[in-house]
Amino acid sequence: MFKFIKRAIIIIVILILSFQLFKIHRDVSHVLSYRPMIEEILAEHDSTTNEDLILAMIYTETKGQEVDLMQSSESSTGVANSITDSRESVKQGVTVLSANLEKAYDYDTDAWTAVQAYNFGNSYIHYVAKHGGENSIDLAKNYSKTVVAPSLGNKSGETYRYYNPVALFYGGGKLYKDGGNIYYAKQVQFNLFLIKLMSQF
């Protein structure tokens, strides 16, 4: 009886993992279908921003399942989901990311600071520059708690569970309410690995 239960559990785990791998493969393949559009937009703007990084950010933001691919509406109009054209979403996203990367370079911080600033806002770059010059979970966590969350009304440090594998691995998956995503850069970093891996096939 015990062996039967053990085998049943193993089979269920294998099925769940197989389904998750299928979903990842499907979603990454869908995001990769936007590569030609991204290449065109980068050429139009004479931008040297890495297209794989943009694809990884699209995967992180929406997995290519929403019109506002890069969730860039708020940086454009101040209103979420106000962009109703995927190309415009990527144009705005590229504009914000490129500006962040330039500012990160000017402030002598790393590129992942610029990526995290896509989620937090570009003031985060100045914050990191004053605290060692390199993005980290600890810096992002402190900035989220002391700057982002209070600015949006969470002055008590209220948190909630964020069930994401990368977030769970790096910090138990806890986020501050209204405090942005402290794991954003790490998620993009991991998704960049997926994009590069899948691009080889």
| Dist CA 182 CA 74 (whole Å) | 18
Give me the amino acid identity at 132: G
Q: Per the structure block, which two tokens stand in for 182?
A: 């402290």
Give yes or no for a contact between 175 and 160, defined as CB atoms under 8 angstroms apart: yes
Q: SS3 string of 38-98?
A: HHHHHHHCCCCCCHHHHHHHHHHHCCCCCCCCCCCHHHHHCCCCCCCCHHHHHHHHHHHHH
| Dist CA 75 CA 120 (whole Å) | 11
How confident is residue 1, by pLDDT bands cut at 50, 70 and 90? low
> Averaged over 35-59, what is the pLDDT?
93
> In CATH, what class is 2-199?
mainly alpha
| Dist CA 48 CA 155 (whole Å) | 39
> Averaged over 181-190, what is the pLDDT?
96
User: What value does the mean pLDDT of the chain take?
Assistant: 92
Give me the amino acid identity at 34: Y
Q: Which residues are paired to 175 by β-bridges?
A: 160
- Hunting for tokens 């594998």 — which residue is that? 165
What confidence tens digit (pLDDT) does each residue in 117-133 have?
999 999 999 999 999 99
| Dist CA 201 CA 198 (whole Å) | 6
pTM of the model: 0.89
Give yes or no for a contact between 27 and 64, defined as CB atoms under 8 angstroms apart: yes
Give yes or no for a contact between 87 and 41, defined as CB atoms under 8 angstroms apart: yes
Residue of higher predicted confidence among 22 and 156: 156
Residue from 77, 31, 74, 75 nearest 54 by CA: 31
How confident is residue 162, by pLDDT bands cut at 50, 70 and 90? very high
